[in-house]
């Protein structure tokens, strides 16, 4: 298309001056005076115009040849189509997603954490900040607790942040203790030290269908006695000592916990803090695999204690994304 348009434009440009304008033609006398000079000059001008016209035509023709060839053979180029009739139904993939390679061994997370540690951290977190989602929301400080603490919220945001920082420190200490134990257990040189620590920190006693598992944890400075029996899924006594101290010391709190599932979707549990004098009952019900409901009833058994004396009734829904 460019060749067909450019050619008449160039011809028009050349022939308009060549044709001249009829507004001011010379008279017969003037033509006779300059006839000799005009003949020679016009001949030269005609030759020059013919040469310029010929060069322009050849240039335009040469420049139009590649375009004409490309226009005739456009379908042979990559990305060009002879027809677009089936283009609407064509499935074009702009990006091919490459699947990650299959993991042949344990991941880094599996090497650091496992089911035992995850359950232990979850249990410690619930005992520290609340055993249900709605209880943790109730105990967390918000914008009203800075001005008024009549609702029994726990401390200021700065104090809550400090408690979470201490819990993170406990997790680091517990991870270090666990992995050092795993290294000592598999290393022949350190296995003797690990066996001595296990004899001092763990004890198992079995009487018929009941087995007592006693374990002392250095990282949290706690002593747990679990009772495995066919009647209760959870039956434990936890003695909490000063977590900042190294080694056993005075008992800060003793917590008694029992619980068992009633049905496949309903579970009941009870917790009693001896030093604080607070007892709580919790009912958990699973509605769907992601949705669950809880009911918490908490009250005090003594007028004096560590926490504020109050009776709390909480109910809530939790959804796991």
Give the alpha-carbon dihedral of 259, 261, 267, 268, to 10 degrees: -30
Closest by Cα among 47, 70, 51 to 1? 70
Closest by Cα among 157, 181, 161, 179 to 169? 161
User: Are 195 and 134 a contacting pair, CB within 8 Å?
Assistant: no
Closest by Cα among 234, 230, 242, 316 to 272? 234
Task: Name the residue ranges covered by the structural domains of the chain.
Answer: 2-72, 108-186
84 has pLDDT over 50: yes
Taking CA 134 as the corner, what is the angle to CA 131 and CA 139, rounded to the nearest 5 degrees?
A: 75
Helix, strand and coil in the chain, % to nearest 5: 40, 25, 35
Interatomic CA distance for residues 175 and 170, integer angstroms: 9
28 has pLDDT over 60: no
Q: Convert the pLDDT of each residue in 221-233 to its tens digit.
A: 899 999 998 889 9
Ranges 39-53, 177-191, 194-208, 287-301, most confident = 287-301
- The pTM assigned to this predicted structure is 0.62
Mean pLDDT of 202-215: 84
Q: Convert the pLDDT of each residue in 115-130 to its tens digit.
A: 889 999 999 999 888 8
Return the residue matching tokens 């310029």.
Answer: 52
Exposed/middle/buried for 79, CB within 10 Å: 0-12, 13-18, 19+? Answer: exposed
Closest by Cα among 141, 163, 176 to 244? 163
Interatomic CA distance for residues 2 and 4, integer angstroms: 6
């Amino acid at each position: 298309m460019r060749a067909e348009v450019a050619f008449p434009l160039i011809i028009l440009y050349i022939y308009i001056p060549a044709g001249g304008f009829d507004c001011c033609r010379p008279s017969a006398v003037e033509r006779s005076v300059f006839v000799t000079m005009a003949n020679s000059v016009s001949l030269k001008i005609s030759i020059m115009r013919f040469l310029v016209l010929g060069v322009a035509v050849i240039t335009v023709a040469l420049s139009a040849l590649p375009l004409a060839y490309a226009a005739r053979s456009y379908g042979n180029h990559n990305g060009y189509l002879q027809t677009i009739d089936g283009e609407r139904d064509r499935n074009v993939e702009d990006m091919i997603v490459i699947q990650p390679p299959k993991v042949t061994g344990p991941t880094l997370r599996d090497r650091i954490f496992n089911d035992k540690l995850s359950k232990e951290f979850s249990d410690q977190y619930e005992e520290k900040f609340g055993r249900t989602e709605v209880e943790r929301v109730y105990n967390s400080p918000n914008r009203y607790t800075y001005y008024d603490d009549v609702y029994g919220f726990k401390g200021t945001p700065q104090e809550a942040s400090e408690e979470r920082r201490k819990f993170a420190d406990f997790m680091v200490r517990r991870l270090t203790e666990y992995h050092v134990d795993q290294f000592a257990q598999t290393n022949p040189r350190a296995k003797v030290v690990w066996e001595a620590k296990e004899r001092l920190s763990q004890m198992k006693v079995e009487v018929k269908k009941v087995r007592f598992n006693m374990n002392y944890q250095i990282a949290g400075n706690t002593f747990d006695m679990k009772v495995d029996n066919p009647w209760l899924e959870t039956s434990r006594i936890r003695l909490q000592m000063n977590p900042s101290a190294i080694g056993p010391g005075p008992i800060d709190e003793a917590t008694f916990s029992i619980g068992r599932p009633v049905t496949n979707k309903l579970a009941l549990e009870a917790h009693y803090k001896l030093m604080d004098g607070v007892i709580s009952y919790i009912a958990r019900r699973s509605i769907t695999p992601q949705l669950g409901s809880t009911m918490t009833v908490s009250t005090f058994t003594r007028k004096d204690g560590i926490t504020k004396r109050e009776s709390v009734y909480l109910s809530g829904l939790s959804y796991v994304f």
